[in-house]
Amino acid sequence: MKFNKVLESLVNYEAGKPIELVVREHGIEAKDVIKIASNENPYGCSPKVVKAIQNEAFKMSLYPDDSMYELKEALAEKYGVESENIIIGSGSDQVIEFSLFAKANPSNKILVAKTTFAMYEIYGKRTGTTILKTPSHGHNIQELSDIYKNNKDVAVIFLCLPNNPLGECLDKDDVFGFLKEISDDTLVVIDGAYQEFASFKDKNKKIDPKELINTFANTIYLGTFSKAYGLGGMRVGYGIGDKEIIKSLHKLRSPFNITTLSLKAAIEALKDEEFIKSSIVSNFEEMVKYEEFAKKLDIEFIPSYTNFITYKVKKDSSFICEELMKRGIIIRNLKSYGLNAVRITIGTKEQNDRLFKVFEDIYRG
Ligand SMILES: *Cc1c(COP(=O)(O)O)cnc(C)c1O
């Protein structure tokens, strides 16, 4: 059978290995497996969310409110924007997809950092567009700016702030300086999947969506409930942008792209800011231990503004990940990004302590 030509250049996203796989392949009991690979919240989600979902489970027989009125109102209030500035996606992943589909095509280009969230490229390729990347791994404003100036047909630029999988983050002032040089017809996607963490650690990294879209009408800010909010399994994300952009993206959204219970979960999660705050505080307390551990083992790490840390290891990263997996610990190998590095999600104290012990054995062994 012949398929669309673009399929030939597509690869699948390498998702974090599920706990079930380690159970099947290594015969370890599920309760003894720890997954610190996909930047989920190790403390779960707000207990208020769990309670609300239990109470409303019977509503799963009903289609969700397709206008997503309540969630949009809650987000609009949180960010000081209007409902018409918001689109809800099945994860912010889906809003990335919409953004590309709305602008990218075989006769133009998109611009990304060399090592950044893989979905920009994967969804980009589906449109047949050309993907331009900076020479440096992370976000380098000068390089992004130079490439942009030399390619007038750039339709979409992605800035991942802070950046997954490296953890670094540009300062807001540098981002705004860069945005001043960008034409009104280039859509700039600011992926704020880890903004809750970055803005807590350093105010200079904070991107306020309202200020962003009011200053630059060609931008869209993406947020997600999968990371700090601990709702990865519910698949809810959002885009905040100028009403004209949001209206166009809405044309690409299938009806009922979020489930009834996912909507409920997100609405409840927004009400429990205390839970988010305490997760973030614990995250950075535990992060310090990861920095100390790296220094002890003489491993170079990237200072992180997220809930994960990237180690540039000296042993083969695939070997390390395999050995950890055999012992029931799942972390993320960055080999597929062309780096001999591993990305570890900051877990709970117990998870981290176990990782340190096993990692040290493997690394020194
Ligand atoms: C996790 C993540 C997302 C989106 O996650 P969803 O679960 O689809 O909301 C987007 N961007 C980055 C950089 C991420 O790490």
Mark whether 19 and 124 lie in a shared domain: no
**Does the beta carbon of 345 sit less than 6 angstroms from any atom of ligand 1?**
no
For residue 16, pLDDT over 80 is answered with no
Mark whether 247 and 194 lie in a shared domain: yes
**Does the beta carbon of 307 sit less than 6 angstroms from any atom of ligand 1?**
no
Q: Tens of pLDDT along 129-144?
A: 999 999 999 999 999 9
| Residue where a domain stops, chosen among 201, 236, 271 | 271
Mark whether 54 and 40 lie in a shared domain: no
**Buried b or exposed e, range 148-178, using 16+ CB within 10 angstroms:** beeeeebbbbbbbbbbbbbbbbbebeebeeb
Tell how far the Cα of 162 is from the centroid of ligand 1, in angstroms: 11
Q: Tens of pLDDT along 285-320?
A: 999 999 999 999 999 999 999 999 999 999 999 999
| Residue where a domain stops, chosen among 271, 301, 328 | 271
Tokens in use for 144? Answer: 């992004």
Tell how far the Cα of 276 is from the centroid of ligand 1, in angstroms: 17
Widest pairwise Cα distance in the chain: 58
Candidates 14, 40, 93: which one to mutate for ligand 1, based on the most atoms within 8 Å of Cβ? 93
| Residue where a domain stops, chosen among 271, 295, 310 | 271
pTM of the prediction?
0.96
Closest by alpha carbon to 231, among 260, 192, 193, 265?
265
Mark whether 26 and 163 lie in a shared domain: no
By residue range, what is the domain housing residue 90?
47-271
Rg of the chain, C-alpha, whole Å: 20
Mark whether 189 and 224 lie in a shared domain: yes
**Does the beta carbon of 232 sit less than 6 angstroms from any atom of ligand 1?**
yes
Mark whether 114 and 207 lie in a shared domain: yes
Tokens in use for 250? Answer: 């809405």
Tell how far the Cα of 190 is from the centroid of ligand 1, in angstroms: 12
Mark whether 183 and 316 lie in a shared domain: no
**Does the beta carbon of 224 sit less than 6 angstroms from any atom of ligand 1?**
yes
Mark whether 326 and 233 lie in a shared domain: no
Residue 53: band (very low, low, confident or very high) from pLDDT cuts 50, 70, 90: very high
Mark whether 40 and 51 lie in a shared domain: no
pLDDT at 102: 97
For residue 17, pLDDT over 90 is answered with no
Express the helix, strand and coil content of the chain in percent, nearest 5 each.
Answer: 50, 15, 35
Give me the helices (H) in 222-300, please: 243-250, 260-271, 273-296
Q: Check if the beta carbon of residue 88 is closer than 8 Å to that of residue 258.
A: yes
Number of domains the chain is built from = 2
3-state SS of 148-217?
A: HHHCCCEEEEEEECCCCCCCCCCCHHHHHHHHHCCCCCCEEEEECCCHHHHHHHCHHHCCCHHHHHHHCC
**Does the beta carbon of 160 sit less than 6 angstroms from any atom of ligand 1?**
yes
CATH code of residue 39: 3.90.1150.10
Q: Tens of pLDDT along 193-204?
A: 999 999 999 999
